[in-house]
């Protein structure tokens, strides 16, 4: 059990939204779900970039996973530039294995091959997002980027997190904050 005092001021379970002035092209117009954010650093998955070169059935085939034939395919996301060959499944908390990490009451993370087989066989979580790689920050690094006006944050909701239109998640995330894109500036305002 995580002590609430240890989580105050951190953004675990939130969405990071790249500001228009994002200098790193890997994160331009990206939306990242933060799986972990604490004093040691942060880890998240980009939820709005699809890996066009690989399909779910192709991935199952590459991993040698035989299924019952029901392959309920899901898109594969580019989760971030770190360990791009490693897979992560962000999903609703109605599914759990021994290795599942519960991010909060509604969202969990599993990084085993078994969840892929369960998804393919129709026994997986109600909603899921498969990502290869992740975005990671060292201690204080993300906090510094936020202070430099590189990121905004907003509460995640299931429809935005697992929605079927990744190409509109950046705009939807900004709209959730009530931000008019035409008025958004990349310049920080400090008094």
Q: Where are the domains of the chain?
A: 4-183
Phi and psi torsions of 77, nearest 5°: -95, 155
The Cα 78–Cα 66 span in angstroms is 24
State the pLDDT at residue 63: 85
* pTM confidence score: 0.88
Q: Which neighbouring-strand residues pair with 143?
A: none
Helix (H, G, I), strand (E, B), or coil: what is residue 186?
coil
Under-50 pLDDT residues of the chain: 1-6, 188-191
CATH (residue range 4-183)? 3.40.1740.10
Query: 146, 168, 134: which is closest to 35 by C-alpha?
Result: 134
State the Cα–Cα distance between residues 106 and 16, nearest whole angstrom: 18
CA 13 to CA 27: how far, in whole Å? 19
Residue-level pLDDT at 2: 39
What is the SS3 assignment for 61? Answer: helix
């Amino acid at each position: 059990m995580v002590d609430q005092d240890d989580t105050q001021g951190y953004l675990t379970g939130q969405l990071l939204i790249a500001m228009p002035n994002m200098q790193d092209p890997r994160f331009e117009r990206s939306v990242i779900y933060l799986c972990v954010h604490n004093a040691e650093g942060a880890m998240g998955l980009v939820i709005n970039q699809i890996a066009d070169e690989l399909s779910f059935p192709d991935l199952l085939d590459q991993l040698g996973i035989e299924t019952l034939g029901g392959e309920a395919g899901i898109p594969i996301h580019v989760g971030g530039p770190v360990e791009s060959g490693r897979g992560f499944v962000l999903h609703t908390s109605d599914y759990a294995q021994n290795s599942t990490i519960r991010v909060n009451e509604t969202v969990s993370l599993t990084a085993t091959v078994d969840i892929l087989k369960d998804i393919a066989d129709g026994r997986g979580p109600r909603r899921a997002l498969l990502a290869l790689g992740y975005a990671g920050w060292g201690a204080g690094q993300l906090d510094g980027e936020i202070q430099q006006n590189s990121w905004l944050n907003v509460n995640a909701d299931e429809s935005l997190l697992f929605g079927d239109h990744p190409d509109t998640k950046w705009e939807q995330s900004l709209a959730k904050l009530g931000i008019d894109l035409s008025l958004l500036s990349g310049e920080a305002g400090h008094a």
